Amino acid sequence: MTDTPVVAPPKETTVHPPARRGNPWRPTPRGVALMTSIELRRRRPSTKGYVLYGILFAAVIAICILAAVLSTSDLSSTNLELVLIMVLGVGMLIAPSLSATSINGDSGEGVLAPLQMSHLTAGDIAFGKLIASWLVSVIALLALSPFLIYAFTKSGWHLDELAITLAAILFMVLAFTAVGLAWSAIAARAVASVSLAHLTTGFFAVGTLVLFAVAGTLVTDTKTVTEYYLDWETLTADEQKALDDAYATGDFSALDPADYQCTPQEWTTGLTHTDQIAWLLLANPIVTIGETAPIVDPETWREDGRAAPGAFAQMHSLVAGARLGPQDDEIDYEPYNECDQIFGTAAAEELSPEEQEAQWEADQAEYDAYQQELANLPRAPWLGLAVQAVLLVGSMLIVVRRLRVPYKKLRAGTRVA
């Protein structure tokens, strides 16, 4: 055994890798494709993984069948919207988890540097990892697809509308995958990069809402309003009785203005100009997804063949309210003056019950018109999508810069490998 000569096999395949010049870093289609396939092979689940995934998928289908048997035939978009939110939520949880250990993990395992030594450029490695992590998230989300299909059939949405919203969700998942990748290129330890990636996601999902609430105090105009009321204490018993009678009958003509003096009361009121900070809401990924959903008119939805306004429609109206800001009647608020009410205009313009009715109807119509205006306010997903695009591009720039060799500096506390 020991005397077996260690010799090379006589024949050896000669290989001719192409010559290289300079220090390219841009991604190339071939390199990205190879890197993606390497990453996907590495993440290929074990048999146990397939079994678990199969069980999950079967459970989802079973729940859908159950729901189909039990549900009524009414259209309702809320189910679909909940599934879409779930898809977004799960995607935003899975994607950064997968990508956030991708670079520092590989470096720790010692499998990154050999690839950097090869003809793969920093761009190839970065985008290959991005696409592979994103594809794995998308495949995981496919487990929820039976829910989606079932909920869609009852939602009153059109297929193209669903496609647009799904595309927006997948784009967001891609952006948060890139964010995870960037953190894994920056932080040395997996614990740090995963937490930072989730914190980033959390900042956009929850932090924007908190910021909106905090920023609200900055754009609130406070003003002091002086209102006038009768001072009950200063009235004699007769005057009080006469006033009570007058209120009871609505006939104030018997009262003598000289006996009833109104005293001023001051209080402060705030008017929040939400239109100045509504962009904070629009940067929220969940709001952005809601903004890609079809508009449901609260008056005509039945004729339009839609379900009643669901979660997204309500969210759209709330956001629209913030976008429009305070309305004229709130801005031109008339301070109340009880004496004027009794002795001035009110006494002169006595409303008959019919007129009162008409007044109420007009108020209601105005309210409905406002609600309709809110529901039909043009959708505004663009800011949110732009924020995601900036995150995506910025993250990938960081990743490519960090993967370029020769390293100028190393992550603190790491070795090259």
Partner 1 sequence: MTTTIEASVGVREAIVARGVARSFGSVRAVEDATLTVPAGSVTALIGPNGCGKTTLMLMLSGLLRPHGGDIAIAGHDPKTDAAAVRAAIGWMPDQLGSWDNMTCLQTLTLMGRAYRIPKDAARERGAELLARVHLEEFADRPSRVLSRGQKQRLSLARALVHDPQVLLLDEPANGLDPRSRVELRDLVRELAGEGRAVLISSHVLAELDEMVDDAVFMSKGRTLGDEAATMVAHARTRYRVDALDRDHLLEVLARFGIAAEPSDTGAILTIDSEDRAAEALAWMVNQGVRVHRFGPVGSALEQTYMAMNEERR
Q: Does 271 bind partner 1 (CB under 8 A)?
A: no
Q: Does 110 bind partner 1 (CB under 8 A)?
A: yes
Burial class, 189, CB count within 10 angstroms (exposed 0-12 / middle 13-18 / buried 19+): middle
Quickly list DSSP for 3-68.
TS-----S------PPP--S---S--HHHHHHHHHHHHHHT---HHHHHHHHHHHHHHHHHHHHHH
Query: Minimum distance from CB of 26 to partner 1 (Å)?
Result: 12
Torsion of CA 126, 129, 131, 133, to 10 degrees: -140
Q: How far apart are CA 28 and CA 32, in angstroms?
A: 6
Query: Minimum distance from CB of 142 to partner 1 (Å)?
Result: 22
Candidate list 29, 305, 378, 406; residue touching partner 1; CB under 8 A: 406
Nearer to partner 1, 12 or 332 (CB): 12
Candidate list 119, 273, 379, 401; residue touching partner 1; CB under 8 A: 119
| Helix 122-142, helix 382-403: angle, nearest 10 | 130
Nearer to partner 1, 8 or 348 (CB): 8
Is cis: bond before 406, omega within 30 of 0? yes
* Subset of residues 137 to 196 that bind partner 1, contact rule: CB under 8 A: none
Q: How far apart are CA 144 and CA 169, in angstroms?
A: 14
Q: Between the CA of residue 14 and those of 11, 17, 118, what are the distances in Å?
A: 9, 10, 17
Nearer to partner 1, 21 or 223 (CB): 21
Q: Applying CB under 8 A, which part among 115-123, 192-200, 287-295, 348-356 lies near partner 1?
A: 115-123
Nearer to partner 1, 116 or 284 (CB): 116
Query: Minimum distance from CB of 123 to partner 1 (Å)?
Result: 13
Nearer to partner 1, 20 or 223 (CB): 20
Candidate list 50, 55, 118, 390; residue touching partner 1; CB under 8 A: 118
Nearer to partner 1, 214 or 417 (CB): 417
Q: How far apart are CA 195 and CA 201, in angstroms?
A: 10
Nearer to partner 1, 112 or 197 (CB): 112
Other residues' Cβ atoms within 10 Å of the Cβ of residue 101: 23
Counting every residue written for the chain, the total comes to 417
Q: Applying CB under 8 A, which part among 59-67, 118-126, 230-238, 274-282 lies near partner 1?
A: 118-126
Question: For the chain, how long is the longest CA-to-CA vector?
Answer: 130
Query: Minimum distance from CB of 95 to partner 1 (Å)?
Result: 21
Q: Which two tokens stand for residue 362?
A: 């007009």
Candidate list 51, 142, 213, 405; residue touching partner 1; CB under 8 A: 405
- List the one residue out of 255, 60, 230 whose CA is nearest residue 145: 60
Q: Do 193 and 97 form a contact (C-beta atoms < 8 A)?
A: no
Candidate list 26, 158, 241, 415; residue touching partner 1; CB under 8 A: 415
Nearer to partner 1, 5 or 305 (CB): 5
Query: Minimum distance from CB of 50 to partner 1 (Å)?
Result: 13
Q: How far apart are CA 356 and CA 375, in angstroms?
A: 29
Candidate list 82, 93, 115, 346; residue touching partner 1; CB under 8 A: 115
Q: How far apart are CA 286 and CA 209, in angstroms?
A: 11
With CB under 8 A as the rule, give the number of residues binding partner 1.
48
Candidate list 55, 65, 111, 149; residue touching partner 1; CB under 8 A: 111
* Subset of residues 8 to 67 that bind partner 1, contact rule: CB under 8 A: 8-9, 11-24, 30, 34, 37-38, 41-42, 44, 46
Q: Does 72 bind partner 1 (CB under 8 A)?
A: no
Positions in the binding site for partner 1 (CB under 8 A): 2, 6-9, 11-24, 30, 34, 37-38, 41-42, 44, 46, 106, 109-120, 405-408, 410, 415-417
